[in-house]
Amino acid sequence: MTDTISSLPQVIPFLEAHPSIRAVIFDFGGTLDTDGDHWSRVILDGYHAAGLFPDPESFRRAYIAAERTLGKGGIIDPSDNFDTLMRKKLQLQRASIGYSQSLDPVARYCTEVARTTTRRALPVLEALAARGPLALVSNFYGNLQAVTTDFGIAHCFDVMIDSAIVGLRKPDPAIFSLAMKALAALPPSANQPQCRDARSVRPEEPQIQPHRMQPQCRDARLVRPEEPQIQPHRMRPQCRDARPVRPLSGGQPERPQSENPLDTPQIEWRTHEPCVPTLQPEQILVVGDSEKNDIIPARTLGFHTLHLTGRPYLPTELSAPNNSRG
């Protein structure tokens, strides 16, 4: 049976009651940015706040059509922050609903909701990050790193998986399996904030990128060429020198070009044990707002789950696409 919570801070007492859990995987959209409310509800609130009252059925159809269009790619740039993302999404909705006026007030409303909610989540995430590794797994548009960096929460996560980048989508359990493999591959310093030492690789080894960095020391995360690429992202404000990994046509990840010697190391890899060498599914907790996209696939793999409940998707006979939730 899945446990339910009504707010993010309730994750902390759950973990205190389950000390065997060693890593936590969070959903983003509808979880960290709205505290359980489905984004269709939040966007409709934005319309109402702007004095616009679209027909519910027209809005539902426009919402679904916009999500499907965005899911095809080519519209969202990896550098787009949340406000830019929302303006592009609403532009697509406006065409479907038939509005001629600007929907910028709706975008501002939605961005403020997301910014306020993630700001409120930050102390919880930082407390959990001090306890053990965190991952973020989201059906997103290729700009998850830009959005979470802009909101000031990217540094809390050891692993960040954007569906548009890795080529996997919820509710496919494989995207959660990928997160578990990435968590298990973290170096020991990911679990020891006081001792994060640098790691380097030989050219023939799998690519490793610096990502979770504090001023006094740096560590790295493993990215295997044969697996979907996960962008490095966990960067402290004082030293953000990680760079994205882009696969080459030959299948080998491209090493970033930089004068910083940490970016293109040629030092021999030091043998060490992963921080969670025997990480098992029952030692992982998944927190999300969607039973279909988060809870069911996670429980299929044997993970613990917490269902963050809020206002659900607007009732309709139409089925929302998988990318309608983060």
Number of neighbouring beta carbons within 10 Å of residue 263: 15
Q: What are the φ and ψ backbone dihedral angles of 253, each rounded to 5 degrees?
A: -70, 145
pLDDT category at 23 given cuts 50, 70, 90 is very high
In a domain, 142, yes or no: yes
Residue 194 has pLDDT above 70, yes or no: no
For residue 162, the enclosing domain spans 3-38+118-186+274-316
- Enclosing H/E stretch for 222: strand 217-223
pLDDT, one tens digit per residue, over 287-301 is: 999 999 999 999 999
The CA angle 156-159-161, to the nearest 5 degrees, is 115
Residue 196 has pLDDT above 90, yes or no: no
More confident residue, 249 or 58: 58
In a domain, 69, yes or no: no
pTM, 2 dp: 0.75
In a domain, 284, yes or no: yes
What pLDDT shows up at residue 314?
78
Residue 305 has pLDDT above 90, yes or no: yes
What pLDDT shows up at residue 190?
58
- Rounded Cα distance between 112 and 184, Å, is 35
Contact 24, 132 (CB under 8 A): yes
Q: Which residues contact 300 (CB under 8 A, 6 or more apart)?
A: 173
- Rounded Cα distance between 111 and 102, Å, is 16
pLDDT category at 326 given cuts 50, 70, 90 is low
| Span of 29-38, 48-57, 233-242 with lowest mean pLDDT | 233-242
Q: Which residues contact 76 (CB under 8 A, 6 or more apart)?
A: 70, 85, 88, 141, 142, 143, 164
What pLDDT shows up at residue 187?
83
Query: Measuring CA to CA, which residue among 19, 272, 222 is closest to residue 131?
Result: 19
Number of neighbouring beta carbons within 10 Å of residue 255: 17
Q: How far is CA 262 from CA 111, 232, 236, 275, in A?
A: 35, 14, 15, 22
Instruction: Give the CATH number, domain containing residue 291.
Output: 3.40.50.1000
In a domain, 23, yes or no: yes
Q: How far is CA 235 from CA 149, 159, 210, 238, in A?
A: 9, 11, 9, 8
pLDDT, one tens digit per residue, over 130-189 is: 999 999 999 999 999 999 999 999 999 999 999 999 999 999 999 999 999 999 999 865
Residue 62 has pLDDT above 50, yes or no: yes
Q: How far is CA 164 from CA 168, 219, 294, in A?
A: 7, 26, 17
In a domain, 122, yes or no: yes
In a domain, 212, yes or no: no
In a domain, 267, yes or no: no
Mean pLDDT value across residues 194-212: 34
CB pairs under 8 A, 24+ apart, for 195-204? 198/262, 198/265, 199/269, 199/270, 199/272, 200/265, 200/266, 200/267, 200/268, 200/269, 200/270, 201/265, 201/267, 201/269, 202/266, 202/268, 202/269, 203/266
Tally of domains in the chain? 1
What pLDDT shows up at residue 313?
85
In a domain, 307, yes or no: yes
Q: What are the φ and ψ backbone dihedral angles of 95, each rounded to 5 degrees?
A: -65, -40
pLDDT, one tens digit per residue, over 110-124 is: 999 999 999 999 999
What pLDDT shows up at residue 108?
98
| Span of 5-14, 54-63, 232-241 with lowest mean pLDDT | 232-241
Residue 195 has pLDDT above 60, yes or no: no
